[in-house]
Structures are given as structure tokens and as C-alpha cells.
């Protein structure tokens, strides 16, 4: 068991480690009680194991853990035998052998295993029990190829894992054939290797280009959404800051220019000073100049009396002569 965790399981025809213990018939009750270390229970499980998956591994795990002390031998049928009785496989026999060798539950791999177990084969490999699911397996003209093993009391059933099988995997590939063909063309496989016609190749490559464009558009949309989200977030912050600043500005404005603001008080003080400057206080009543009446300045001699114009040219000349004489007297 320790060797299976550090190295691949050996092939039965290449190992020199043969079971030297006497091959005495064991019952299931004796095997479940436990056997000596030098006499492990030799359990055999066979199959095709094409596209090795978790359902295969779980079946082998059950076969390995049927008894406290067990040695698991796994038989793998060849390509010729499989193609004859079951059909074409995805993996060839060498690939299927190697897949089994690297399973942690397998102690030994038997290549080119028989389709129907014979007493000679069971004796050759010192097999105590055969592990397989209990569903009758009809093949090679028989309703159940494990019928004689069950009658001999050497059959131990295991449970199948639902939802996973080689047929299910192949069905997925066939169902999504176009997707896998396009993927492999994109990864460098040629149309000849994929057995794809010229028209389908062009169609798949065009679809790959369309998918790339869709991916680019999707990336641009995601980036634009992210950009819009950032802009909205920043605009929200700016609006919030603007509201705070506007409240502060309005408060300062009202404090300066409001009904009881500092500007009104300052304006009132300055207007009072200006009024005092333009209209000083009146003199007291006891002032000696208050009783005087302002002297009326004499009218200039050249001002005519509009109410009494000269009656004749002679009177006008007389008046002018009198004015000139008055001026000479003043001189």
C-alpha cells in the first residue's frame, strides 16, 4: 500500500513479486475479520476504464477498502477485445493502462485481461474475490458475465457513482461538438486533424472572431460601467462639497450684508459722518450776527428795468448819457 502512493502500480507480467502464500479458500466472513500481513485478501476488479474519471476511482476505492487487509488487482481489457464486444474507445489500451497505474488504490495492473473470467485466470493470479457493481452485465452472449462468480461466492458488490460515466462524457462532447471544434482550432489544431470540412473550418473561425468581438464589447461595457460609477461617486462628493461651501458662503454673505450685518452698521456710521460734514450744527441763538439782515447788493447800473422800458429813442440816449456820467464820477 505504501508503494502505491510513491510510484505507479506494477504490471502483473513485469513484476517478480508473486504471491507465495498458499492460496487457501477464504470466505467473506474470514476476509472481513482480517488476515495476516503476509496473506492479504486478493481482490480483483476489471473494466475498460476509458476516459478514466471519478466514478472509476470511487469504484476502485470501494474494492480496495472491502476488507481490512487487501491487495487490489485491476484487469484492463485490450483494444481488440473492447472493440469486438463493446465498441470503439477514445483512449487506446496503453493510455488506459497508464491511467490505472497512477490510481492510488491500485496495487497491480493486469494488461489484456479476459472478457469473461475463467477458473484458470483466477487460479493464476490467486484471486480471492471479484469486485464489481451488482447490476447484471450482459455481454458476449451471456445475460450476466459474473453469474458463475456469484454462484461461487466470490463476488463482492460495489456501488456505482450516479451522474458520471464514460458514455456521459462522450455525450457531452458530441452535444457540444461545435464548441470543442472551435476551441481546438483556436488552440492551433488543423482542420485535417479535427476532421473538419473547409466550409465548417471557415464558419468556426468566423464564429471565433465574433466571440472575440463580443468579449471586447463586454469588456468595454464593464469598463464604461465602472467609469460611470466612479464619475457618479466623484460627482456626489463634489455636490456634497459644493453644498457645504455654498452654505458657508451664504452664511458669510448674510453675516456681512444681512439686516443686522457688519456692512449696514459700517454704512450707517459713514453716512452719519458725511451728514455731519455737509450740514454742521447751527449757531446758538445768542450769536451777534443772527440779528443782522444781509445787505442787499446794489443792482448794477446797466441792468434795465424790464417793467418800464424807454418810451422813445431820445429818452434812451438820455439814460445812456447819465450812465456814462455816473461812471466818470465813480472813476
Q: What is the CA radius of gyration of the chain?
A: 60
Q: What is the mean pLDDT of residues 95-100?
A: 96
pLDDT the model gives residue 303: 46
Q: pLDDT-based confidence at 4, cuts 50/70/90?
A: low
Half-sphere exposure of 279 (CA within 13 A, CB side): 3
Please indicate, yes or no, whether the overall pTM of this predicted structure exceeds 0.75.
no
Q: Which residue has the cell 475479520?
A: 33
Distance CA 315, CA 250 (A): 82
pLDDT the model gives residue 101: 94
Architecture, CATH, for domain 26-156: 3-Layer(aba) Sandwich (3.40)
DSSP states of 185-207 as a string? HHTT--HHHHT--HHHHHHHHHH
pLDDT at 121 over 70: yes
Contact yes or no for 32/3 (Cβ under 8 A): no
- Angle (CA) 95-98-102 rounded to 5° is 140
pLDDT digit string, tens, across residues 123-166: 999 999 999 999 888 876 778 899 999 999 999 999 999 999 99
pLDDT digit string, tens, across residues 244-269: 878 787 777 777 776 766 766 777 77
pLDDT digit string, tens, across residues 196-231: 888 888 888 888 888 888 888 888 888 888 888 888
pLDDT the model gives residue 137: 82
Cα 322 from chain centroid (whole Å): 121
Backbone angles phi, psi at 109, to 5 degrees: -115, 130
C-alpha cell belonging to residue 122: 483466477
Contact yes or no for 28/57 (Cβ under 8 A): no
pLDDT at 28 over 90: no
DSSP states of 89-148 as a string? -SS-HHHHHHHHHT-TT-SEEEES--SS--HHHHHHTT--EEEEESS---BTTBS-TTHH
Could you state, in order of their start, the residue ranges of all structural domains in the chain?
26-156, 164-266
Distance CA 22, CA 75 (A): 22
pLDDT digit string, tens, across residues 271-293: 777 777 776 665 555 555 444 54
Q: What is the mean pLDDT of residues 167-184?
A: 90
166 vs 233, which has greater pLDDT?
Answer: 166
218 vs 295, which has greater pLDDT?
Answer: 218
Q: What is the mean pLDDT of residues 4-28?
A: 72
pLDDT at 93 over 70: yes
Distance CA 185, CA 197 (A): 12
C-alpha cell belonging to residue 203: 464558419
Using DSSP, state whether 155 is helix, strand or coil: strand
Question: 113: closest CA among 7, 13, 215, 254?
Answer: 13
Question: 112: closest CA among 165, 58, 74?
Answer: 74
pLDDT the model gives residue 330: 46
Distance CA 57, CA 54 (A): 5
199 vs 295, which has greater pLDDT?
Answer: 199
Contact yes or no for 45/132 (Cβ under 8 A): yes
pLDDT the model gives residue 306: 45
Amino acid at each position: 500500500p505504501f508503494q502505491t502512493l510513491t510510484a505507479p502500480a506494477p504490471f502483473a507480467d513485469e513484476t517478480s513479486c508473486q504471491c507465495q502464500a498458499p492460496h487457501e479458500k477464504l470466505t467473506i466472513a474470514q476476509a472481513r475479520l482480517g488476515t495476516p500481513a503476509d496473506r492479504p485478501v486478493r481482490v480483483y476488479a476489471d473494466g475498460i476504464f476509458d476516459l478514466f474519471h471519478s466514478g472509476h476511482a470511487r469504484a476502485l476505492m470501494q474494492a480496495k477498502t472491502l476488507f481490512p487487509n487487501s491487495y487490489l488487482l485491476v484487469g484492463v481489457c485490450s483494444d481488440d477485445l473492447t472493440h469486438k464486444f463493446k465498441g470503439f474507445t477514445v483512449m487506446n489500451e496503453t493510455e488506459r493502462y497508464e491511467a490505472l497505474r497512477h490510481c492510488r488504490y491500485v496495487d497491480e495492473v493486469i494488461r489484456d485481461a479476459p472478457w469473461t473470467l475463467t477458473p484458470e485466470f483466477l487460479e493464476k493470479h490467486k484471486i480471492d474475490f471479484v469486485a464489481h457493481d451488482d447490476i447484471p452485465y450482459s455481454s458476449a452472449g451471456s445475460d450476466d458475465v459474473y453469474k458463475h462468480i456469484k454462484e461461487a461466492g466470490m463476488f463482492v458488490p460495489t456501488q456505482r457513482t450516479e451522474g458520471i460515466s464514460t458514455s456521459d462524457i462522450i455525450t457531452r462532447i458530441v452535444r457540444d461538438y461545435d464548441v470543442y471544434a472551435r476551441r481546438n482550432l483556436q488552440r492551433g489544431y488543423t482542420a485535417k486533424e479535427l476532421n473538419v470540412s473547409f466550409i465548417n473550418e471557415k464558419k468556426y473561425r468566423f464564429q471565433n472572431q465574433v466571440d472575440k468581438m463580443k468579449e471586447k464589447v463586454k469588456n468595454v461595457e464593464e469598463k464604461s460601467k465602472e467609469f460611470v460609477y466612479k464619475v457618479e461617486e466623484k460627482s456626489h462628493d463634489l455636490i456634497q462639497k459644493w453644498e457645504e461651501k455654498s452654505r458657508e458662503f451664504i452664511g458669510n454673505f448674510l453675516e456681512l450684508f444681512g439686516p443686522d450685518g457688519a456692512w449696514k452698521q459700517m454704512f450707517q456710521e459713514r453716512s452719519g459722518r458725511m451728514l455731519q460734514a455737509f450740514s454742521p450744527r447751527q449757531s446758538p441763538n445768542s450769536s451777534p450776527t443772527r440779528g443782522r439782515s444781509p445787505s442787499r447788493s446794489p443792482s448794477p447800473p446797466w441792468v434795465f428795468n424790464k417793467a418800464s422800458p424807454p418810451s422813445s429813442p431820445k429818452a434812451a440816449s438820455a439814460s445812456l448819457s447819465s450812465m456814462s456820467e455816473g461812471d466818470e464820477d465813480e472813476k
